[in-house]
Amino acid sequence: MLTIYGVYRSRATRPLWLIEELGLAFRHVPVIQAYRLADASAAGAPVNTRSPEFLAINPMGSIPSMDDDGFVLHESLAITLYLAKKHGGALGPKDLQEDALMVQWALFGATSIEEDALDIQMAIGKGAMETEEGRAKIAASAANLERPFDVLEDHLKASPFMVGGRFTAADILVAEVVRYAQGHAPLFDARPSLKAWLETCQARPAFKAMWEKRLQEPA
């Protein structure tokens, strides 16, 4: 049985979205981030990233983790690409070159976009747009995203999706990173191909199903 450890309000959205696309049977263990709890070690605390039972699975205490019939794997990018190659069909790579391109785009998102995009999401969530200092912080993060977003815009002008001209796991991995900056409209209004691609990805029934489950979790 395939088991995914991690709440939907985490990077677990990446493999969980793919699982919805593929219609895979799986067991979900909603391990929550310890920092979100007042006392992660208190009696009766939910299973979290510092719980001994989870640390026995992932000593780093990070989510998501996966157990696929005894094969344990960590890190959302690795898990998503593994599941795409094992079960994905058209959502996985058709050859070695597509495999390499999916890894490339996954790492591009993680290294060139995620940190600044996540800073934007967190700043907006904390009401930073209401202060001059907050707006300056968001503007600085947005400025760092100009170049990688331009790369995506140019790519998506020429192709409707990240790899192979079709929706694949690479789109999931990049879309879930780009989503963090979605609250800062100017980044997207200036890049219509990127904006349209993200809207297309998020219009998919599997994304909506995953997102509905995310919304059902406590914020």
| End-of-domain residue from the set 87, 106, 127 | 87
The pLDDT assigned to 40 comes to 96
The pLDDT assigned to 59 comes to 98
Tokens 């597509």 -> residue:
98
The pLDDT assigned to 132 comes to 87
- What are the beta bridge partners of residue 28? 4
What is the per-residue pLDDT across 132-184, written as a single tens digit (0 to 9) for each? 888 999 999 999 999 999 999 999 999 999 999 999 999 999 999 999 999 99
Q: Let me know: does 47 contact 32? Beta carbons within 8 Å.
A: yes
Please tell me whether residues 113 and 198 are part of one structural domain.
yes
pTM for the full predicted model: 0.97
Please tell me whether residues 121 and 77 are part of one structural domain.
no
Residue 75 lies in a domain: yes
Residue 217 lies in a domain: no
| End-of-domain residue from the set 64, 87, 110 | 87
Query: What residues have CB less than 8 Å from 190, skipping those under 6 apart?
Result: none
Show the domain range for 53.
2-87
- d(CA 12, CA 17) in angstroms, rounded, equals 8
The pLDDT assigned to 198 comes to 98
The pLDDT assigned to 183 comes to 96
Please tell me whether residues 33 and 105 are part of one structural domain.
no
The pLDDT assigned to 219 comes to 87
| End-of-domain residue from the set 87, 113, 138 | 87
Residue 216 lies in a domain: no
User: Mean pLDDT for each 10-residue chunk of the chain (219 residues)?
Assistant: 98 98 98 97 96 98 98 98 96 98 98 98 89 91 98 98 98 98 97 98 98 96
Compute the 3-state secondary structure of the chain and give helix, strand, coil in percent, each to the nearest 5: 60, 10, 30
**What is the total count of domains within the chain?**
2
The pLDDT assigned to 101 comes to 98
- d(CA 85, CA 42) in angstroms, rounded, equals 40
CA nearest neighbour of 34 among 62, 64, 65: 62
Query: What residues have CB less than 8 Å from 165, skipping those under 6 apart?
Result: 159
Q: Where are the alpha helices (DSSP H) in 71-165?
A: 76-87, 96-108, 114-125, 132-158
Please tell me whether residues 106 and 145 are part of one structural domain.
yes
Please tell me whether residues 104 and 137 are part of one structural domain.
yes
- d(CA 44, CA 92) in angstroms, rounded, equals 41
Residue 214 lies in a domain: no
Coil/strand/helix, residue 71? strand
Residue 8 lies in a domain: yes
Please tell me whether residues 148 and 65 are part of one structural domain.
no
CATH number at residue 174: 1.20.1050.10
The pLDDT assigned to 158 comes to 98
CATH number at residue 61: 3.40.30.10
- d(CA 113, CA 176) in angstroms, rounded, equals 11
Please tell me whether residues 51 and 127 are part of one structural domain.
no
Residue 25 lies in a domain: yes
